[in-house]
Structure 1
Amino acid sequence: MRLLILGGTEFVGRAVAEAALARDWQVTVFHRGRHAAPEGTTALHGDRGNGTAGLAALASGEWDAVVDTWSGAPVAVRDAARLLAGRVGNYAYISSGSVYAFPPTGPLTERSPVVAGDPDATSGEDYAAAKRGGELAAVDAFGDRALLVRAGLILGPYENIGRLPWWLGRIARGGPVLAPGPRDLPLQYVDVRDLAEWTLDALRDGLGGPYSLVSEPGHATMGELLESCVTVTGSAAELRWRAPEDILAAGIEPWTELPVWLPPGDHQNALFGVDVSKALAAGLRCRPVHETVTDTWAWLRALGGSAPRRPDRPAPGLAPEKEARALAP
């Protein structure tokens, strides 16, 4: 297949590019040129932030499918989708589970209510609204040829948000580590490579419409994630589990200061309790958490331990002095 990736040099886009190359697909990546394109791809350069003028390199050419990883203003998705609609078979937009309205009235499914979005919006500050606007833009141009990949928490090699890299780095340093409990707290996430493989399969098979894409609820636990970090780093770190109420009482922010973790409650139930039966029926397979942690650590070590990070996202993680206070007797 001839695949065009709008992005293709970082995290999700790079994983998709490498998976497609491994299938011997012809891969073109359209990006700003700030990072090296994966070896074996054809690179086209442009800046979607410059409106239609930034898409000049896409004025000609035909592809069987497109993968779009854009997470900014929906107007960029609108412009690209309109430009390509007559020259592309299917359009996969990597959206987010954030488009589901909160609080949910039950387990989240593809039929659950979603937030409002505007495909013509020129701002991406509201992440959920921007992703929903991107979905509407893709559907507007491609109809039932638009595949909406509503990914949840994404982990794995190339992560440029910094969640799993922070935990690996912190645990590698050793010593007492604040471990947010309960230890058996269920997690739901997707390895970026499993997301990539499923998306390519879906494009090959001509699937369209929305799919929630994460592992089954309880695919891993907080304990399994952090203990895997201890194992793969070879660290002498000591995980000290603390009850959620004690962590919150210490003024520690879930998700941001302690990445991946949410205390039991409505938010945790919504984010880590998504019904993924539709994606599973369409072939989603998720590798074990230990493999995700092992491969992410190997990638970090190859980089010298310092992971790339998106400049538009705050750095996750807990300050050492704040951790020490929370661990004090």
Structure 2
Amino acid sequence: MILGGTEFVGHAVTEAALARGWEVTVFHRGRHAAPAGVTALHGDRTAPGGLAALGAGEWDAVVDTWAAAPTAVRDAARALAGRAGRYAYVSTGSVYTYPSPDGHDESHPVVDGSPDADAVDYARDKRGGELAATAAFGDDATLLVRSGLILGPRENIGRLPWWLNRIARGGPVLAPGPRDLELQFIDVRDLATWTLDAVADGLAGPYNLIAPPGHTTTGALLEACVRVTGSDAELRWTGPEQILAAGVQPWTDLPVWVPRGELYDTLHRGSAAKALAAGLRCRPAEETVADTWAWLRTLGGVAPQRPDRPAPGLDPELEAKLLGTGG
């Protein structure tokens, strides 16, 4: 059973399960088409009676990607308890208290959260979801997938798609330095594969799902974007001091990138040792870039954008000013 299953992470999990020959049920609101080959159940987890379609049936495992009010996880997990063997909740490394030091692992303290809370903020909502799933299924049958930055085909946040589209336009491109700054992310398909393996193996508890520190660098990522798009883009490497002084916001204006410091350690220096020991395998960053570009081209370059997330990217006028190319 996939709760969601029609967008980014949920879609990747659904496709991976189908590729294994598993029987897959997808429960969703019907706003997006479910992958072919699933049994589709419709309902709105936030509406009164919205879980009615889950009233009958049994499943070996549930995968839940919910990212808003923890009460939705609570109610779904309670409805499925006793009729599903295991519950995998795709959470986030944001549940750790900030700042998280270089090398932080699953033992780092987490934020407060409640399974009975309405939506508060991303970190506490996800922590409440963790607690809700665990309360319904118990410690031994609940897997907490604490993902880091997720990239890959069907991304609906817009981070890698923005870089690909910007570089595809060509010309001088503001490239945030240093070029050798190490980055961490997880390809959505690697997350899906590991999650299903972990469910099948009976793993439980929290796992940081992120590639090892240094999986790629800013230079390698952006240069891969130049290669796969075939553009004439010229990466102009610019120091973080100059970028920050111009009012550019790390992570949002320049997706994926943050300068070294507390936020960098939190986002790009987490420990993946536990998941790696449990079989996590991470494909090369170049493959993630190439496959995301191939998918993006099928959409004419216009990537889907989640309505609850602001579209990332640098204002062209500000970029031109920093590059000295403005009129």
Instruction: Tell me what 1:196 maps to.
Output: 192
Q: Does 1:210 align with 2:211?
A: no
- Matched residue of 1:171: which SS? helix
**1:62-211 → structure 2 map (5 Å cutoff):** 62-104=58-100, 107-123=103-119, 125-143=120-138, 144-211=140-207
Distance 1:300 1:307 in 2: 6
1:1-329 paired onto structure 2 within 5 Å: 4-51=1-48, 53-104=49-100, 107-123=103-119, 125-143=120-138, 144-328=140-324
Secondary structure in structure 1 of the residue aligned to 2:34: coil
Per-residue CA distance 1:201-235 (angstroms, 9 max, x = gap): 00001111000000000000000100000000000
SS at match of 1:241: strand
* CA shift digits 1:18-39 (9 cap, x unpaired): 0011000001110000000001
Give distance in 2, aligned partners of 1:107 and 1:131.
21
Q: Runs ≥4 in structure 1, deviation > 3 angstroms? A: none
Q: Any idea what SS the aligned residue of 1:102 has?
A: coil
SS of the residue corresponding to residue 275 of structure 1 reads coil
Question: Partners in 2 of 1:5 and 1:92 — Cα distance?
Answer: 10
Q: CA 1:300–1:105 in 2, change beyond 3 Å: closer, same or farther?
A: closer
Deviation of 1:105 after TM superposition, in Å, equals: 5.2
The answer to whether the 8 A contact 2:101-2:266 is kept is: no
| Per-residue CA distance 1:264-322 (angstroms, 9 max, x = gap) | 11110121111111000100000000000000000000111111110000010011101
Among the aligned pairs, what percent are the same residue? Answer: 71
Residue identity opposite 1:81 in structure 2: A
Q: Which SS does the other structure have where 1:50 is aligned? A: coil
Q: Could you tell me how far apart the structure 1 residues matched to 2:248 and 2:218 are?
A: 17
The question of whether the paired residues in 2 share the 8 Å contact of 1:74 and 1:122 is answered with yes
Residues 16 and 193, structure 2, Cα contact 8 Å, conserved in 1: yes
SS at match of 1:54: coil
Q: 1 CA distance for matches of 2:117 and 2:27?
A: 22
In structure 2, C-alpha distance between the alignment counterparts of 1:269 and 1:243, rounded to whole Å: 18
The normalised TM-score by structure 2 is 0.98
Measured in 2, the distance between the counterparts of 1:252 and 1:105 equals: 24
Supply the distance in 1 between the matched residues of 2:118 and 2:174 (Cα, whole angstroms).
41
State whether residues 101 and 265 of structure 2, in contact with CA within 8 Å, keep that contact through their aligned partners in structure 1. Answer: no
Q: Deviation at 1:107?
A: 2.4
Question: Are 1:100 and 1:115, in contact at CA under 8 Å, matched by a contact in 2?
Answer: yes
8 Å CA contact retained: 2:102, 2:270 = no
Q: Distance in 2 between matches of 1:233 and 1:103?
A: 36
Residue by residue over 1:27-73, the C-alpha shift from the partner in whole angstroms, topping out at 9 and shown as x without a partner, is: 1110000000001111100001115x110000011000000000000
Helix, strand or coil at the partner of 1:48: coil
Distance in 2 separating the partners of 1:223 and 1:296: 18
Q: Which amino acid aligns with 1:131?
A: K
1:66-117: CA deviations, max 9, x gaps?
A: 0000000000000000110100001000000000001235521111100000
**Conservation of the 8 A alpha-carbon contact between 1:100 and 1:108:** no
2: CA distance between counterparts of 1:285 and 1:107?
Answer: 19
Question: 2:62 corresponds to which letter in structure 1?
Answer: V
Provide the secondary structure at the position in 2 that maps to 1:248.
helix
Structure 1 runs not aligned, ≥5 long: none
8 Å CA contact 2:102–2:269 kept in 1: the answer is: no
